[in-house]
Structure 1
Amino acid sequence: MGSACSRKRDQLDNEDSLHRGVTRIYCKSGSSKWLVTTFSKPAVDMQRGKGQCPSLMELCIYKTREDIDRYKTFSMLPRDITQQIFNELVNSHCLTEVSLQAFKDCALQDLDLGEYPGVNDNWMGVISSQGSSLLSVNLAGSDITDSGLMCLRVCGNLQDINLNCCYQISDYGLQHISALSNLTSLSFRRNGTVTAQGMSALAGLVNLVKLDLEKCPGIHGGLVHLRGLTKLESLNINWCKTTTDAITDADMMPLSVLTNLEKLQISCSKVTDAGITHLKGLQKLSILNLEGCPVTAACLDSLSALVALQCLNLTRCNVTDDGSEKFSLLRNLKVLNLSFNEITDACLVHMKGLTNLESLNLDSCRIGDDGLANLTGLQQLKFLVLSDTEVGSNGLRHLSGLINLESVDLSFTEVTDVGLRKLAGLSSIKSLNLDARQITDAGLAALTTLTQLTDLDLFGARITDSGTSYLRNFKNLRCLQICSGGLTDAGVKNIKDLSSLSLLNLSQNCNLTDKTLELISGLTGLVSLNVSSSRITAAGLRHLKPMKNLRSLSLDSCKVTANDIKKLQSSDLPNLVCFRPE
């Protein structure tokens, strides 16, 4: 289906598949767009003489960070200042088990130690010493055990706890949380030791608004303990299955009384059409993720009773054209994801009336040019995914009137350069994926009117040095991927002035040399750079020194070793956290 693939797409674990109804393209092989948003806690650069002059407070905090070993306690400082010092130490990875002691009894409110190295039970004494002041604690990815969790019992005002990927916490540890009746948010992703019986500890958390149990395979049968959590607005039990057990229709019955639920995620469970009938009474439910569930179009009868439903994910379900006329009942939908289903143009006929749709994902469906004629009335549409479908150039004429389109994915389709001319008038487009071998320089020339483009994926397109000259029109580009193999250093000259770039992927262009790194050395906003499978050498790494924001660097199949990159990291690129070869 679609054109020959220039790269194999990775359709693995996708925790954000409901976002805008679009399959997360960042997970595709060869792409590293995830790096633009993954790192949420960069260290603040307060080096004097560089950029904007820091405030007096920032200078004080920076100085404190430098001299942290001189201080025994911060308990006499105002809480807001102590909080900023703590945050800066964490963000700059300068906090240690020893320096942590200075924050004992400081009445801090928020301790974000998610994925911070070395956090274990020895840290819990200081953490719990914040007492009733502590409102939020993030211990995700730590080595905290059941015993360490016991310390939090004295923090009676805790409202938010994140224990994702804390693999040493079991049912016994959950019992310590049961005393924290003020909790409104609890996240416990990827824990294989908690069982249905252990979930009884959650029954007393009557103020819970958000509960995240994604990838906790042992909780089948435990949802019955949630019946009293009537304030619950968000419940995530995505991927809660093993080869022998999974969330089933019976688990849906206790949820029928949670009438305040607004967001429910139950992807990859064994819930069927029968189980969905238990959700009819959830009149506030606006987001429902059923990805990978064995439901059919028959479930639309039950879903039509959910008057607030705006986002529906039916990716990889058993939806076919049979019964698809019931889609017309979901007139309030804004986001619909039907990717990887056996639907054809006949299904799209029933979507003409979904005039509120803002996002539609038809990835890998059997959709062709004729089917797109049914989308012409969806004037609110902003995001459209047609990747791996049978859509060709002729079908794009039906999109020419969708003036609000911001993102279009045409990867692995039959669209050619000629077809791209039909998109030229859609000036609102900001993101365009053209991963297809039949796209050439001529296709890029047809898009020069799309001056608002921020993301352009030309991974498999046949772009040459000559074609890169058209990139000068896209001054707002943040993400650019050209991995055609046809670029040389001469083509990179047309990229070097795209100062808004944060991600640049030029991998598989085997003729690029160290000169390329010299040319792009002025792109100091880059967060991710990939020049793998090129002629880059260790000598060229010196040109990357000005890229202080660089966090990911891929130079696989180049004349560069891991030690070469580590030297650059230690001397000039302190923010670099991901690199290859490693």
Structure 2
Amino acid sequence: MDRVKRGVVNCVLLGFGVALSGAALQFSSSPTPTLDQLVFCGCAKLHVGVNPQNLVSVEFKNCQIDEALVSELVSRKTIGALSLRDCNVQTNSLRILAESLDLKRLEVDAGSFDSAQEFERLLSQLHLESLSLKKVAVTDSQLREINFSNLKQVTVESCDNLSLESLEYLASAPKISFLNFQGLSLSKNDFQRVRSRHPDVEINVDPADFKEFSALVEVDAKMDLDDSLGLVGITIENRKIDEEVFRTVDVSRLEHLALNRCHISKPLLASIGAIKSLKTLSLKQSRVSPAGLKHLQRLSQLIVLNLDDVYSRRSHELVLPELPGLQFLFANSLSFSDAMFEQLQPMSLRFLSLGPGVTEAAIRKLAADQLRTLALCGWHVDEKLLQCVLCSHEVSDLILVDCSVDQMDLDDPELFDHLNSLRLIKSSVPQSTLLQLTQIAPSLAIHASFE
């Protein structure tokens, strides 16, 4: 009974149609336990035979909130926060809640109310500081009944009957500091107007709710906006994308674009090539056309290009676009010819990942003076290849991904002079080789991950 003497912070009551007493809860009458949160899950009627002197938060889940249950709880007069999740609240229960409780926080998630009039009355009589409504059939007119004299925070999600009117009304509350509206149909101009009128209120909305981005919503895109609501990031995965998408959305300030596991046509690549502001582009595991990739050479500000595992019907014809400012290149599926390596030389590459379709001679020809990190993916690494890589370039970080490493006889410590770290990801390395590395290059940081 030590737990009872110290008091209980959280109590969860499970069951349906169960009458619980103090004995059932194993609470002794002396001393009286202190509860600050009580949760009822799936209970039609409950009799709580304890006296929670400091009960401040009550949560109902999947309950029928009737008059008897509410009367039992409000008799405590200490409830300051109420959460109703998937509950049906009867008319008399709403009336009792409105008249008897001094609630500061109210949360309603997917609930229903027998009386819309009593729900309005509840909102008007309570002096709430925080209100959260999710999947509730509340209207603009009902929300206007709220007593917002003390209201500081409001969260609204997927309440389909609410409009911009409710956002504007709540933003005018005298003490409001935070508004979070999800699932509200509006334009960027509407949102900017409300935000400019109430600069001291933090107002959050989902970019997918903006009418200007409806084309992106249809392809289930994730969007990032800057402070002025300019579209700066788009992520789309596993979709066949129509090239018209980027013609119907303002992408003039777009900096980051990820189209992973997508079917990317030549016209779409041409549209992407016209987005001059792009700094990072990922086409990982996507289907592309050799001719389409050439359009990317117009991206003069591109810093990061991810072509890992791209494929084409004519993969042998895939050619890397000329991008002088490129610093990070992921290209583990491209078969680099000597000519393609010559294209890399004028680039300011700092990171490069390569697949096994590259010859050692080509690696030696790579004259990327700023290259610091080299990742080899799917290679069979022997001593000759390791010497080729480390002698040809002053790389400080070498990454081996899905590689098979031979047993080696390493005896030249100068080989590792420039190498700071060796990362082994899902690669098999003989224990004797690892032991030699630790002995010949004791300052080398070796990280291994097999997941």
Q: TM-score, normalised by structure 1?
A: 0.42
Change (3 A) 1:488 1:355: same
Aligned match of 2:404: 485
Contact 2:395 2:418 in 1 (8 A): yes
Aligned match of 2:257: 336
How far is the alpha carbon of 1:382 from its aligned partner?
Answer: 0.6
Change (3 A) 1:508 1:383: closer
Aligned match of 2:211: 277
Contact 1:465 1:492 in 2 (8 A): no
How far is the alpha carbon of 1:328 from its aligned partner?
Answer: 8.3
In 1, the alpha carbon distance for the partners of 2:178 and 2:350 equals 33
Contact 2:261 2:283 in 1 (8 A): yes
In 2, the alpha carbon distance for the partners of 1:403 and 1:335 equals 18
Contact 2:293 2:321 in 1 (8 A): yes
Contact 1:480 1:504 in 2 (8 A): yes
How far is the alpha carbon of 1:325 from its aligned partner?
Answer: 6.1
Contact 1:427 1:452 in 2 (8 A): no
How far is the alpha carbon of 1:276 from its aligned partner?
Answer: 4.4
How far is the alpha carbon of 1:442 from its aligned partner?
Answer: 3.5
Contact 1:324 1:350 in 2 (8 A): no
Change (3 A) 1:472 1:373: same
How far is the alpha carbon of 1:408 from its aligned partner?
Answer: 1.3
How far is the alpha carbon of 1:491 from its aligned partner?
Answer: 6.1
1:439 equivalent to 2:358? Answer: yes
The SS at the match of 2:352 is strand
Aligned match of 1:295: 219
For 1:421, which of 338, 341, 348 is the aligned residue?
341
Contact 1:335 1:357 in 2 (8 A): yes
Contact 1:363 1:385 in 2 (8 A): yes
Change (3 A) 1:313 1:223: farther
Counterpart amino acid of 2:268? C
In 2, the alpha carbon distance for the partners of 1:194 and 1:491 equals 67
1:374 equivalent to 2:295? Answer: yes
The SS at the match of 1:381 is coil
Contact 1:356 1:380 in 2 (8 A): yes
Change (3 A) 1:355 1:507: closer
1:239-258 residue pairs with structure 2 within 5 A? 251-253=183-185, 258=191
Change (3 A) 1:467 1:423: farther
For 1:398, which of 321, 324, 342 is the aligned residue?
321
Structure 2 gap segments, 5+ residues each: 1-7, 11-34, 39-53, 57-80, 86-102, 112-127, 134-147, 196-201
Give % identity: 16
The SS at the match of 2:287 is coil
Post-superposition CA distance 1:9-32 (Å, at most 9, x none): xxxxxxxxxxxxxxxxxxxxxxxx
In 2, the alpha carbon distance for the partners of 1:234 and 1:395 equals 49
In 2, the alpha carbon distance for the partners of 1:234 and 1:381 equals 36
In 2, the alpha carbon distance for the partners of 1:371 and 1:262 equals 41
In 1, the alpha carbon distance for the partners of 2:206 and 2:262 equals 19
Change (3 A) 1:466 1:232: farther
Give the number of the structure whose alpha-carbon radius of gyration is greater: 2
Contact 2:262 2:286 in 1 (8 A): yes
Aligned match of 1:452: 370
The SS at the match of 2:247 is helix
1:3-82 residue pairs with structure 2 within 5 A? none
Post-superposition CA distance 1:411-462 (Å, at most 9, x none): 2x3423536513431441122222x342343443233x22323332212134
Contact 2:281 2:304 in 1 (8 A): yes
Counterpart amino acid of 2:373? D
Change (3 A) 1:147 1:515: same
Between 1 and 2, higher relative CO (CA 8 Å, sep ≥ 6) is seen in 1
**Structure whose residues are more often strand by fraction:** 2
In 2, the alpha carbon distance for the partners of 1:409 and 1:262 equals 38
The SS at the match of 1:471 is helix
The SS at the match of 1:468 is helix
In 2, the alpha carbon distance for the partners of 1:409 and 1:232 equals 44
The SS at the match of 1:376 is helix
1:196-207 residue pairs with structure 2 within 5 A? 200-201=131-132
Counterpart amino acid of 1:376? Q
Contact 2:318 2:334 in 1 (8 A): no
Contact 1:488 1:509 in 2 (8 A): no
The SS at the match of 1:338 is strand
**How large is the RMSD of aligned CA atoms in angstroms?**
5.2
How far is the alpha carbon of 1:488 from its aligned partner?
Answer: 2.5
Contact 1:369 1:390 in 2 (8 A): no
In 1, the alpha carbon distance for the partners of 2:289 and 2:334 equals 10
How far is the alpha carbon of 1:487 from its aligned partner?
Answer: 3.0
In 1, the alpha carbon distance for the partners of 2:251 and 2:340 equals 32
How far is the alpha carbon of 1:329 from its aligned partner?
Answer: 4.8
Q: TM-score, normalised by structure 2?
A: 0.52
Counterpart amino acid of 2:434? T
